[in-house]
A and B are shown apart, each in its own frame.
Chain A
């Protein structure tokens, strides 16, 4: 797996490269800004499997870089993690809107960056498996996995970005889950709870199997806020819960 590391801080690149190597990713190309990154992508004939990019950089910033990459058919599905000191919800939402796959704020903890990297790798593997299923013309594509490997925030972010429609079931049976239409979460339930409250409870789960059944009809319509702000609220509640523990 080839990784492109984009940051104007040499120390930041050094630290992130070390984290990448610790999760087995040692094929690393470094770039100092967005323009440099685009040049390195072309030079490698787009044989990059994951990009980690800073936001604020001289020349071309990380957001413009993502926009340029998403314009190209070769870069439309490329996993991109934004690693930035920009921590406001509106800024994070902006990054996702232009096509970031995941987001982590500086200063980061090594463990959290590793989890994000593993999550986007898991999504990439899911997408590859889906493409293989579609190409063989078999049954309706199904995404399944473990929340321990792929956090719910990343999973919902991926479904949102991919504009998927269907039903996401958590754990055995259908005691917990959510209905998604065109990437937007429309309904969530957990036991007797439903709506945003159920979504936040589900978002706090850190283990358990999940299955996404593409094409299944929605069971209800209890959530009216956009999925991005739903995710932001969930992440903030998780942070607060961790801080109080």
Chain B
């Protein structure tokens, strides 16, 4: 057992702004890497795309999936989908990250969501902010012991956090189910229908729209729309959202509207063209604003859908 009590685990190691190596332990589930602030690991380098890759860890298995943005290489070979093993070097733009099975020291380990300024390395994001906050109710690993703190005034916040985690777990489970459903479908139209219907569950959306483009990758051809009330009526998707999405070539947030709607849109991309796009919107509720988790799930599902649909519409 290492001095800090943390067993060796799969981690990404990359240089920080001061040249010292930073370690990002890869948690179970899905983590997103990119330049945008809502990634799990933020890589502040102009050569990195806002949302470039997603890593999915199941036990010791780790898969990389590119989001068809920017240059992604594994061991100097361009890769969009690949199983990773310790020792592999992932290159995003000009940023290199090595996958290692190591024990991170408590002071050097970057946690999911941690934010720290980096040079050509990475800047992990959110969770560290939470961890750096004053002590709250919960269980924290310290060395090789576990310390249970006494309940305090932050109980309400703890309950909210648990509810949020439960909601996140449900969304992830439904997203996996939806991903499996579309991977077993050979009719592109049914794939679009399943995605639109599935988005109502995964994202608690009020309205979901999927769009298929013509071969030129620009002109929308067909729309599938599903609403929470079970109807297929509605206005589809505004051309300006389609244009912006194609320009950014990544997940974009769509806000506003007369009902205070929030939504996400993402293009279905291959390396050569845009196949279509996915969109959902929901009425904002105080407990469930659109967050980074939604963006990651959207990116993941968009990636899976692109891989599935590309051969079906050739």
Interface flag for B289 (CB, 8 Å): no
Across the interface, do B215 and A10 meet the contact criterion of CB distance under 8 Å? yes
A232: min CB distance to chain B, Å: 17
Across the interface, do B222 and A9 meet the contact criterion of CB distance under 8 Å? no
Residues of B close to A18: CB separation below 8 A = 189
Interface string of B205-220 (1 = CB under 8 A from A): 0000001101110011
CA distance A11 to B188 in the complex (A): 11
Binds A, one of B33-41, B145-153, B230-238: B230-238
Residues of A close to B222: CB separation below 8 A = 15, 106-110
Q: In the complex, which residue of chain B has the Cβ closest to the Cβ of A108?
A: B222
Q: In the complex, which residue of chain B has the Cβ closest to the Cβ of A106?
A: B221
Interface flag for B223 (CB, 8 Å): yes
Interface string of B91-119 (1 = CB under 8 A from A): 00000000000000000000000000000
CB contact under 8 A between A9 and B224, given known A106-B219, A109-B232: no
CB contact under 8 A between A107 and B220, given known A18-B189, A242-B233, A245-B233: yes
Interface string of B223-251 (1 = CB under 8 A from A): 11100000011111000000000000000
Interface flag for B313 (CB, 8 Å): yes
CA distance A81 to B221 in the complex (A): 16
Partner of B225, one of A10, A85, A109, A245: A109
Residues of B close to A11: CB separation below 8 A = 212, 214-215, 221, 313
CA distance A9 to B212 in the complex (A): 13
CB contact under 8 A between A15 and B212, given known A106-B219, A109-B223: yes
Interface size class of A (residues with CB under 8 A): 10 to 19
Q: Which chain A residues numbered 203 to 245 have a C-beta less than 8 Å away from chain B?
A: 239, 242-243, 245
CB contact under 8 A between A243 and B235, given known A11-B313, A110-B189: yes
Interface flag for A12 (CB, 8 Å): yes
B278: min CB distance to chain A, Å: 14
Across the interface, do B215 and A107 meet the contact criterion of CB distance under 8 Å? no
Residues of A close to B313: CB separation below 8 A = 11, 14
Interface flag for A111 (CB, 8 Å): yes
Apart from the given pairs A10-B215, A106-B221, A245-B233, 13 other A-B contacts in the complex at a CB distance below 8 Å? A9-B215, A9-B216, A11-B313, A12-B221, A14-B313, A15-B189, A15-B212, A107-B211, A107-B212, A107-B222, A108-B221, A109-B232, A239-B235
Listed by A's residue number, 26 A-B pairs whose Cβ atoms lie within 8 Å are A9-B214, A9-B215, A9-B216, A11-B212, A11-B215, A11-B313, A15-B189, A15-B221, A18-B189, A106-B221, A106-B222, A107-B212, A107-B220, A107-B221, A107-B222, A107-B223, A108-B221, A109-B223, A110-B222, A110-B224, A239-B235, A242-B234, A242-B235, A243-B234, A243-B235, A245-B233
Query: Contact residues of B with A, CB < 8 Å?
Result: 189, 211-212, 214-216, 219-225, 232-236, 313
Query: Contact residues of A with B, CB < 8 Å?
Result: 9-12, 14-15, 18, 85, 106-111, 239, 242-243, 245
